[in-house]
Amino acid sequence: MRDLRKKILLESGKTVSKKARTRPESALATPGGSPAASRVGSRVNSRYASDEEDPSDDDYDDSLASSMINSEEGDEAATPLASWTDRLRDRITELLDRKRSSAKGRENSLDAYTHLIRHHCATEEIENHFNELVPALLRSIRGGSNSDETLAAIKALTVTILSTESETVYDHVYSSLKGVCQDSDEASVKVEAIEAMGVATMCGGGSVTAAEELMEFLVEIIESDGHSIEAGDNGPTVAAALSTWGFVASNLDDLQDQSEEALQAFTDQLDSSDVEVQIAAGANIALIFEAAREYEEETEETWNLQYDQHKLLQRMTALTRESSKSISKQDRKLLHASFNSVLTSLEQGKGPGYSTARRMASNPHAGGSKADFNDEYKEYGYRQKIRIHNISMIIDTWSLSARVEMLKSILGGGLGIHYMGNPVVKDLLSSAQVE
């Protein structure tokens, strides 16, 4: 069937589909193409379903399914003359041949390269050129002709690190990423650099000490509302620092030394005017208390966390009922759901998205009456899940949720492909309960 479809396409003269022409790499082959500069699914708008909503994350499920279909069949049908591996090799060649390229050409090549490795497991192809690719990407990061080239290079580097199992790349890239984070005038570059620093530290060979130093740097950004890196009161930058702190913390066994100062910084951010910042702060607070519970259960020792419990719960309760007209209806709904989830976690020792709503343990409509089932009810329980192909992963800890959110931000619809074939991503999600 696939060969027949190729034959029909070739005979009709249609070698590139309309959908294929919208992809970033198609801009390099077709004069009229334009690269998609924005990250696929870079910010996920909904984390938790309310008790009344469908618990599945349908939009994200659809994007994963679409990504897998496009990668497995769509690319071959749309461009029968060039496989994705051939196109990837061409993009890598372009990135390595900097002397004969323009800033716009490098930007297009970077976007196309990132799109291809985001939606395909390209570990072998990348590792064959890894020692040349990383320096080439760093040249565009440190000396890009404009912020667009720098931004595209950081995105490309982040996915490259996630696609390999290098234990030394951290030493080569971290200082450059931190430098551009501090020196760039563009908030978008700072956001990408912050996330790239987190991925390089945890997936590129960074030590525990390196992780703790990064967390301190991120807390400085959060405490100063971004002023410490010349991004004063910039919501996306502070939100990126919060989510990256959560990602790094989720991979550490002991958070005691990092938690007290961080908890105060997160609590202060509950008063932010940016909903994304408030939600990320709430998730990190829940992650800290989850770590404390696990520590006490494992060691039977008390984790003496100093904080004003009454003030914290009072502020979070207020956020579950936030009604300010300055916040959009969608953001208010998201804020309410997120902090209901956090409060349930703190009060009952549960993970994210846990629903205390009750339903009958058995279905009387399948036969019998209510009396036959003794009016037994049970809670809906965990409702935050990711479905990949025929696999359903339950997100039942805040640590796992932090990793999932970071991977969604970086890989978008390509997360499903990477989960199935990328050992780095598979390891990050190894704690997930799979159905």
Tens-digit pLDDT profile for residues 416-433: 999 999 999 999 999 888
d(CA 118, CA 112) in angstroms, rounded, equals 10
Tens-digit pLDDT profile for residues 248-276: 999 998 899 889 899 999 999 999 999 99
Strand partners, 14: none
How many domains, in total, are found in the chain?
Answer: 1
**Whole-number pLDDT of residue 4:** 39
* Residue 217, domain member (yes or no): yes
Tens-digit pLDDT profile for residues 290-331: 999 999 999 988 888 888 888 999 999 999 999 888 899 999
* Residue 213, domain member (yes or no): yes
* Residue 203, domain member (yes or no): yes
Strand partners, 379: 358
* Residue 221, domain member (yes or no): yes
**Whole-number pLDDT of residue 72:** 45
**Average confidence (pLDDT) over 84-111:** 90
* Residue 323, domain member (yes or no): no
Would you tell me how many other CB atoms lie within 10 Å of the CB of residue 305? 15
Range of the structural domain that residue 232 is part of: 165-252
**Whole-number pLDDT of residue 32:** 36
* Residue 424, domain member (yes or no): no
d(CA 46, CA 341) in angstroms, rounded, equals 12
**Ordered DSSP codes for 98-162:** GGG--HHHHHHHHHHHHHHHHSS--HHHHHHHHHHHHHHHHHHHHH-SSHHHHHHHHHHHHHHHH
Three-state DSSP class for 322? coil
* Residue 405, domain member (yes or no): no
* Residue 181, domain member (yes or no): yes
d(CA 34, CA 24) in angstroms, rounded, equals 7
Stated pTM of the model: 0.81
